[in-house]
Amino acid sequence: MPEKQPFIVFGAPQIEQDEIDEVVDSMRASWLGTGPKVARFEREFAAYKGVQADHVAATNSCTAALHISMLAAGLKPGDEVITTALTFCATVNAIIHTGATPVLVDVDPLSMNIDPQAVEAAITPRTRAILPVHFAGRPCDMDALMRIARKHDLKVIEDCAHAIETEYHAKKAGTFGDFGCFSFYATKNITTGEGGMVLAQVEHDIARIKVLALHGMSKDAWHRFGDAGYKHYLVTEAGFKYNMMDIQAAIGIHQLARIEQNWEKRQKLWTNYQSAFGDLPVTRPQDAETDTRHAYHLYTLLIDEQRAGISRDAFLEHMTQAGIGVGVHYLGIPEHPYYQQRFGWRPEEYPNAMRIGRQTVSLPLSPKIDDVIAERIIKSVTSTFKN
C-alpha cells in the first residue's frame, strides 16, 4: 500500500533559521513587547515603501490598522464609508467599530476589485471615505478612485492586506490614499504570525495612530523603560491594545529581507498554474494589467458548476481528500447573516461579488511550495475534470 502523502497546508509560511535566531535573540534579551525590533521593522518597511520612517506604525493586525486609521481620519458615527462587497469581514467590521456606516458596492467582474463607477454612484452627502481593497494582490484602479476622492473631498484608506509588493503605474500600493493598511498574518506574503502596519501621508496622523495603538498613552514601553531612564506617560485619549511585539517584528525583519525572492517564487508558481489550467473548464484569474505589479498573494479559480460539471464545494472536497489545503476568498459580504440582519444587504444586489463568491477557490501559493509539490497540486486539480 503506497505511503500517504503529507497534507499541503494552505498558506503555510516559509520560516527560515534567520527568523528563528532573531526570535531567540529577543527572548534572551528579555525584550518581548514593543521595543527596538519593532522600531527596526518599521524603519525597514518604510524604506521598502519609499517613505520616511515617521510615516509608518506597526500594529498587531491589519484589522487594528484599519480601525485606528479611520479614527485618525476623523470618521464619526453617521459617516459613510464605501467599500467592496468582495472582501474579508475585517474590512467591514473595522468600519463598524469606528461607528461609521459601511456602504457596499460591486466589483469589476474581471479584476474582482472595487468598481470606481459603482463607487461614484454610491456617494451621498454623508460619504466621508473610500476603502478600496487590492484583492488577491492586484491593484485597484487608483487613478479613477483618487479622482473621485478629490472631486468629493473624501478620505482614502487602502486595504493592502494582500498587496505588500503591489504597484500601480510604478507607485506602491498603500502610498496613494491618506492611509495604507497592511497585514502580516500567517498566510500573508510577509508574516509576523499576527501583525499589521499603517502607512500615512501625514506624519501627525502616524503620531496619533501610535498613541491610539497603545491605550492612548503618550509614551510606549520602550521609551518608558529604556536605558535613558523612566519616562512618565499621560493618557491623552481612550486608546486600544493594538501594538506589535518585538517577537513578531523579529520574524518580520527577515521575512522583509527575502521579499523579492519570495515574490519571484510565487510569480513562477502563479504562472505555472495559469499555463497548466488553460484547457480546463474553469475561469482563471486575469493576467496582471500593463504597468502594474501583482503581489501574487492569491491564485483563484472560478468553478461554474454548469460549465465545469462539478460544484465549487465538491471541488473543495476533492482537493481536501487529495491532501491539499484550499481556501475560499471570499464569500461576498452580503452572504453573511450578521450583515443581512443589520444592514438588510442581499447578495443579488451585488451580482458580480455574488457570482465570484459562490464559485471561487484559492489554491496554495506559498514560496514554500517546490516543483514536486506544485506538480502534485496541478495533477489533483486537472484530475477533477477528467472523469
Catalytic residue numbers, as ranges:
188
Cell of 351: 451580482
**292/375 Cα distance (integer angstroms):** 28
The amino acid present at 313, given as its one-letter code, is D
Q: Are 327 and 8 in contact (CB under 8 A)?
A: no
Q: What is the dihedral of CA 363, 87, 343, 147, to 10 degrees?
A: -150
What H or E segment, with its residue span, contains residue 360?
A: strand 360-363
What H or E segment, with its residue span, contains residue 155?
A: strand 155-159
Strand order in the sheet with 171-172: 171-172, 167-168, 292-293
What is the residue whose three cell numbers read 525590533? 37
**84/149 Cα distance (integer angstroms):** 15
Q: Are 131 and 97 in contact (CB under 8 A)?
A: no
How many other CB atoms sit within 10 Å of the CB of residue 47?
13
CA angle in degrees (0–180, nearest 5) for 238-239-243: 165
Q: Are 128 and 155 in contact (CB under 8 A)?
A: yes
Give the three-state DSSP class for 250. helix
* Those residues with Cβ within 8 angstroms of residue 348's Cβ, 6 or more apart along the chain or in another chain: 354
Reference 66, options 126, 113, 122, 131; nearest CA is 131
Q: Are 165 and 180 in contact (CB under 8 A)?
A: no
Cell of 378: 496541478
